Structure 1
Amino acid sequence: MADSAQPLAGQRRVLILEQIRARGGVRVTELVRDLGVSDMTVRRDLDALARRGLVHKVHGGAVRVEAPATGEPGFEAKAHWELPAKEAIARAAAALVPPGSAVGLAGGTTTYAVARRLRAVEGLTVVTNSLRIAELLEQPAEDGTPSTATVIRTGGVRTPSDALVGPVADQAIRSLHVNLLVLGCHGLSPEAGLTTPNLAEAETNRAFLRSARRVVVVADHTKWNAVGLASFADLDQLDVLVTDDALPAEQRAAAAGLVGELIVAATADHTGRTG
Structure 2
Amino acid sequence: MNNTDLMSLERQDRIASLVNARGSVTVVELSEAFSVSEATIRRDLIALAERRLVQRVHGGAMHIGKVATSESPIVQRQLEHIDEKTRIGKATAQLIHPGETLLLLGGSTGLAVARELAQHDELTIVTDSLLIAQELLQQKKHKVIMAGGTIDPEEQAVRGTLSRFILQQLHVDKVIIGAKAISVLRGISAETPEEAELFRACIACADQVIVVTDSSKFQRSALAKVVAIEDIHTLVTDHNLGEDDRQKIQEIGIHLVLV
* TM-score (structure 2 length as normaliser): 0.70
- The residue aligned with 1:17 is none
User: What is the alpha-carbon distance in structure 2 between the residues aligned to residue 189 and residue 246 of structure 1?
Assistant: 15
Q: Does 1:99 align with 2:93?
A: no
- The residue aligned with 2:40 is none
Decide which moves more: 164-173 or 251-260. 251-260
- The residue aligned with 1:62 is none
| Alpha-carbon distance, 1:107 to partner | 1.0
User: What is the alpha-carbon distance in structure 1 between the residues aligned to residue 150 and residue 195 of structure 2?
Assistant: 10
Q: Does 1:120 align with 2:119?
A: yes
Which of 145, 149, 154 lines up with 1:152 in the alignment?
145
1:155–1:259 distance in 2 versus 1, CA, 3 Å: farther
- The residue aligned with 1:134 is 133
Residue by residue over 1:9-33, the C-alpha shift from the partner in whole angstroms, topping out at 9 and shown as x without a partner, is xxxxxxxxxxxxxxxxxxxxxxxxx
User: What is the alpha-carbon distance in structure 2 between the residues aligned to residue 199 and residue 135 of structure 1?
Assistant: 28
The aligned length equals 189
- The residue aligned with 1:232 is 226
Q: Does 1:170 align with 2:164?
A: yes
Trace 1:1-275 onto structure 2 (pairs within 5 A).
Answer: 74-140=73-139, 147-159=140-152, 160-265=154-259
After superposition, the CA RMSD in angstroms is 1.7
Runs of 5+ consecutive residues of structure 2 not aligned to the other structure: 1-57, 59-70
SS at match of 1:257: helix
Q: Which amino acid aligns with 2:248?
A: A
Residue by residue over 1:221-251, the C-alpha shift from the partner in whole angstroms, topping out at 9 and shown as x without a partner, is 1010111111111100011001100112112
1:232–1:259 distance in 2 versus 1, CA, 3 Å: farther
SS at match of 1:91: helix
User: What is the alpha-carbon distance in structure 2 between the residues aligned to residue 230 and residue 163 of structure 1?
Assistant: 19
| Alpha-carbon distance, 1:157 to partner | 2.2
Q: Which amino acid aligns with 2:103?
A: G
| Alpha-carbon distance, 1:259 to partner | 4.8
User: What is the alpha-carbon distance in structure 1 between the residues aligned to residue 120 and residue 129 of structure 2?
Assistant: 19
| Alpha-carbon distance, 1:258 to partner | 2.8
Q: State whether residues 127 and 146 of structure 2, in contact with CA within 8 Å, keep that contact through their aligned partners in structure 1.
A: yes
User: What is the alpha-carbon distance in structure 1 between the residues aligned to residue 253 and residue 105 of structure 2?
Assistant: 19
Q: Which amino acid aligns with 1:151?
A: V
Q: Which amino acid aligns with 2:127?
A: T
Runs of 5+ consecutive residues of structure 1 not aligned to the other structure: 1-50, 52-71, 141-146, 266-275
Decide which moves more: 233-242 or 161-170. 161-170
SS at match of 2:189: strand
Q: State whether residues 190 and 222 of structure 2, in contact with CA within 8 Å, keep that contact through their aligned partners in structure 1.
A: yes
SS at match of 1:182: strand
1:259–1:168 distance in 2 versus 1, CA, 3 Å: farther
Q: State whether residues 184 and 245 of structure 2, in contact with CA within 8 Å, keep that contact through their aligned partners in structure 1.
A: no
1:158–1:259 distance in 2 versus 1, CA, 3 Å: farther
| Alpha-carbon distance, 1:154 to partner | 0.7
Residue by residue over 1:65-94, the C-alpha shift from the partner in whole angstroms, topping out at 9 and shown as x without a partner, is xxxxxxx96110111111111111111111
Q: Which amino acid aligns with 1:158?
A: I
Residue by residue over 1:154-202, the C-alpha shift from the partner in whole angstroms, topping out at 9 and shown as x without a partner, is 1112332222121111111111111111111111012221111132221
